[in-house]
Amino acid sequence: MSDNTVRQLQADLPDLEAYWMPFTGNRFFKEHPRLISRAQGVNCWTHDGKQLLDAASGLWCCNAGHCHPKIVEAIKQQAETLDYAMAFQLGHPTVFELANKLTSLAPEGMDYAFFVNSGSEAVDTALKMALAYHRINGQGERTRFIGREKGYHGVGFGGISVGGMSPNRKMFGAMLPGVDHLPHTHHIEHNAFTRGQPQWGAHLADELENIVALHDPSTIAAVIIEPIAGSAGVLIPPKGYLERVREICDKHGILLIFDEVICGFGRTGDNFGATRFGVTPDLMTTAKGLTSGTVPMGAVLAKGQIYDTFMTGPEGAIEFFHGYTYSGHPLAAAAGVATLQVYEDEGLFERVRSLEDYFADAVHSMKGEPNVIDTRNFGFLGAVEFEPIEGQPTARAMKIFRDCFDDGVIVRTTGDTLAFSPPLIFDKEHIDRTFETVRKAALNS
């Protein structure tokens, strides 16, 4: 590219200064801007016209691929018909339709949906539901939450408190009181290069018994975990682990919350992680794939018994003092209805099942490449973990990320792990291209 062309392209960029970017090195970015200005299907294009294969589905969210025409059309139509309706004490038809569709995908008995605008709001909503549920049941002393090390539950104060990622916590002081954490399950000394669920590690769930004994079960409201921890680098639950956590919660009257913000909507080759793993929580948080990333939306799914507990007290009274101006926003609801319809019509969750072995082969083909210390997979989630460069954690993965970007493929990094969460419409050629590109970058790392 000539110097003139580069100057022209930079001149076409908006002024970058005023925008304080989230989870981004602002100064580095503004020196080396990478803007996406268009997307379609599995591809994105940068502001200067470079085509990229999106192996990250945006941020684990565009499960139906970008700008799906049916979802776009539904949003357009809704915008022309109803932009907004008061969300408290009034409603609109599309959000009821979405609740019905969504709960029909949920595990048996999870019959109610509460709408929010993000995964973080879904998490804080679920935590509040758990507290209020126990209080209505006369067990108001159940106020503690148990999260898990390496867990990511968004960035609200509730979410960072139960979350287990130290960089997300250390700047923000004391957070929610009364939170404890289970040990994480990421042990490559036992489980490196496991295909699917590791055999080793179910016993790590037994630590919940010790934590419960320490605090006394009567003080614990809920346990919250991701069925597969996404942000921490795709950590697959050992065989029997989720079942054991469920058993211990049941034994002690503790609610189990699955954070399915990443695991939901086909990512695991099924409706949810819960349905794929056959373990049903009491509350489930969702977002991202609910609208395929098109309009912000999240939802908390609740068991009928939890909803029924709230539906007591004086007729006409508000049962749950919680909600957002944009809970069930018409545009998001329309996007949600269309997205769930696309998943069904195009058989996208079944498609993941039919391609997951091919995807797994591709992920594990990275074993033996330079500096690769682990490969992991489940459904359309995969990870390749690299040995950190001494004294420079994250630098190796970041270099590979940049090389892949330059070579036309978007992947996601976390620590020294590359994470893959492709749109569910990926085909074999897309999978091959992704891992050929990563392999080339790894050889150079």
CB closer to ligand PXG, 383 vs 442: 383
Candidate residues 43, 63, 103, 120; the one interacting with ligand PXG per rule CB under 6 A: 120
Candidate residues 113, 287, 295, 431; the one interacting with ligand PXG per rule CB under 6 A: 287
| Residue 36: strand, helix, or coil | strand
Cα-flanking dihedrals φ and ψ of residue 221, to 5°?
-85, -50
| Residue 412 contacts ligand PXG per CB under 6 A | yes
What helix, strand, coil percent values describe the chain, rounded to 5?
40, 15, 40
Q: How far is the CB of 217 from ligand PXG (least distance, A)?
A: 26
Please report, to the nearest 10 degrees, the dihedral formed by the alpha carbons of residues 248, 252, 255, 259 taken in order.
-20
- Within 252-271, the residues that bind ligand PXG by CB under 6 A are 259, 261-262
CB closer to ligand PXG, 39 vs 59: 59
Enumerate residues 6+ apart whose C-beta is below 8 A from 317. Answer: none
Candidate residues 65, 107, 119, 293; the one interacting with ligand PXG per rule CB under 6 A: 119
- Within 199-238, the residues that bind ligand PXG by CB under 6 A are 226, 230-231
Q: How far is the CB of 90 from ligand PXG (least distance, A)?
A: 26
Among 224, 225, 198, 220, residue whose Cα is nearest residue 209? 220
Q: How far is the CB of 416 from ligand PXG (least distance, A)?
A: 14
| Residue 335 contacts ligand PXG per CB under 6 A | no
| Residue 433 contacts ligand PXG per CB under 6 A | no
Q: How far is CA 206 from the centre of its chain?
A: 25
What span, in angstroms and rounded, lies between the C-alpha atoms of 33 and 14?
11
| Residue 153 contacts ligand PXG per CB under 6 A | yes
| Residue 181 contacts ligand PXG per CB under 6 A | no
Among 116-124, 273-281, 348-356, 433-441, the segment contacting ligand PXG (CB under 6 A): 116-124
CB closer to ligand PXG, 64 vs 212: 64
| Residue 118 contacts ligand PXG per CB under 6 A | yes
Among 47-55, 133-141, 152-160, 427-435, the segment contacting ligand PXG (CB under 6 A): 152-160
Candidate residues 112, 133, 145, 152; the one interacting with ligand PXG per rule CB under 6 A: 152
**What is the number of the residue whose Cβ is closest to ligand PXG?**
119
CB closer to ligand PXG, 150 vs 430: 150
Among 275, 271, 269, 181, residue whose Cα is nearest residue 232? 181
| Residue 148 contacts ligand PXG per CB under 6 A | no
What span, in angstroms and rounded, lies between the C-alpha atoms of 273 and 228?
8
162, 145 Cβ separation under 8 angstroms:
yes
- CA distances in angstroms from 293 to 9, 268, 289, 401, 413, listed in the order given: 28, 17, 6, 22, 19
The helix (run of H) or strand (run of E) holding residue 44 is: strand 43-46
186, 237 Cβ separation under 8 angstroms:
no
Question: What is the binding site for ligand PXG (CB under 6 A)?
Answer: 59-60, 118-120, 123, 152-154, 226, 230-231, 259, 261-262, 287, 412, 414
